[in-house]
Structure 1
Amino acid sequence: MIKTEPHRRPGLIGMTKGTKVVLFFLALAGLSWGVYKCKYAYSYYTDLKDRPWAYSEDEHAKLLVGTWQGTYQDPDNVAKTIRLEILVPMTDDERAAKAGKRSRRRSGLGQRKDNQHFDGLATVTSKLGKEEYEIYGRVGKDDWHQLKTVHFRVVDEIQQLHKNFGVGQAETGHWQDDQLTLTVGFVYTTATGSHSSDSADPRYDKKVTIHFSRKKS
């Protein structure tokens, strides 16, 4: 009697061990890529909903982020030009890097998320020289166009201008389309680099409303 070999169905059974390993890693890579894309998309669309002042699917949308420029006179009547750069909370590269990381459980309260917070840079120029600041503040949630207290922090205190009224902080502000306003106070830096104040001198309490226009890129 002639013996016949049982018919083997094609598939994994007939594959070599090396081929199975390759397919396993290909499947794992595909799964990892899918998870990465999902995390990236979730982060992006969450920001679209929660930070409408910073993100939009319309590439021509007018947002708070960007570059603004205005002019004003400080309490010593020195004419100055100020340029603001409001930074996007998370760049595409940062979002991609975040999506590629493994999530870990965090103890305690975990990571807090402030959808109203923004930060950026400010540069003031005048005949006295250049003033450079880091800025940070919050956007009101009512319509996302009111600006809460905006703080100006000198980048390098050693290099800051002396005998000068520098920008302190803005108590109120508003932005809409291509216009932005901030009402700012000032901090005086003496010849020795210290800060001083004089309640009898109205210059120290002076507030100035600065009108900014959007700088086209």
Structure 2
Amino acid sequence: MASNKNKLIGCLPYLLVAILLSWGMYECDYQYSYWRDYQVRPWAYNRDKNAKLLVGSWQGKFKDPDGIEKSMVLEVFVPLSDADRRKKASRSHRRRTRGGLGSTSEKRMFEGKAQVKSRLGIEDYLLSGSVGKEDFHQLKMGFRAEEEKTRLQPNFCINLIESGNWSEDKMSLQLGFAYFKADGSSFWSSSDPRHSYKTTCQLSRIQNPKN
């Protein structure tokens, strides 16, 4: 018994070293992923807490193809939360790779949500988009209803943002629309100019968004 106990005690230093090495490798993966994102996702992450980023909340107004004035609040989510980053670092360490960092194209993608209000009612959207490869101040986005069953209709819904840009506290988006009839089916007519209508929405950063 004494011999086994001595062997166990003798193994403790090696076990401690293994734990410390494992933690160190995990922490390296975690810190490296942040460092990498500072380089390739400068629109989403910055060491300066006061830096102007695409991530955050924005608001603006526009008129739809029927001339109805609408207001929009748009939020761009942080691509990877700190909690998720730690989970990825843990998985990366177990695989002994730098996994979870994502490809170059993935690093340009983002998700978010938007809410549009008008005299017609409320439109809730989910959005996905990407920043430009050469200039991360250039944007493209696609919108879809958050809940198809509760989509406001008949209505010209936001569909695509083929071009847009942002800088500091301003954002400009060229909006395209899709028309949905009362029965939920989409409709388009080449002879109706409303269906080819595009407009520019100017948005401003919401400095202290409410939760």
Class of the TM-score when normalised by the shorter of the 2 chains: 0.7 to 0.9
Q: Partners of 1:95 and 1:103 in 2: how far apart? A: 15
Residue of structure 1 in register with 2:115 after alignment: 123
Q: What is the root-mean-square deviation of aligned Cα atoms in Å?
A: 1.6
Q: Partners of 2:184 and 2:67 in 1: how far apart? A: 21
Following TM superposition, by how much is the alpha carbon of 1:162 offset from its aligned partner in structure 2, in angstroms? 1.0
Following TM superposition, by how much is the alpha carbon of 1:104 offset from its aligned partner in structure 2, in angstroms? 6.4
Residue of structure 1 in register with 2:80 after alignment: 90
Following TM superposition, by how much is the alpha carbon of 1:25 offset from its aligned partner in structure 2, in angstroms? 2.2
Following TM superposition, by how much is the alpha carbon of 1:142 offset from its aligned partner in structure 2, in angstroms? 2.4
Aligned-pair identity in percent equals: 43
Residue of structure 2 in register with 1:178 after alignment: 169
TM-score normalised per structure 2 = 0.88
Regions of 4+ moved over 6 Å: none
Residue of structure 1 in register with 2:148 after alignment: 157
Q: Aligned pair in 2 of structure 1 residues 104, 40: CA closer, same or farther (>3 Å)? A: closer
- Which structure 1 residue ranges, 5 or more long, are not aligned? 1-14, 106-110
Any residues of structure 2 matched to 1:204-215 within 5 Å, and which? 204-215=195-206
Following TM superposition, by how much is the alpha carbon of 1:143 offset from its aligned partner in structure 2, in angstroms? 2.8
TM-score normalised per structure 1 = 0.86
Letter in 1 for 2:42: P
Following TM superposition, by how much is the alpha carbon of 1:20 offset from its aligned partner in structure 2, in angstroms? 2.1
**Count of equivalent residues:** 197
- Bigger helix share: 2
Q: Of 135, 146, 152, which residue of structure 2 is paired with 1:143? A: 135
Whichever of the two has the greater Rg, that structure is: 1
Q: Of 137, 160, 185, which residue of structure 2 is paired with 1:194? A: 185
Q: Partners of 1:72 and 1:65 in 2: how far apart? A: 21
Residue of structure 2 in register with 1:132 after alignment: 124
> Can you list the C-alpha shifts for 1:64-99, whole angstroms capped at 9, x where unaligned?
111111111111122211111111111111111111
Letter in 1 for 2:112: G
- Which structure 2 residue ranges, 5 or more long, are not aligned? none
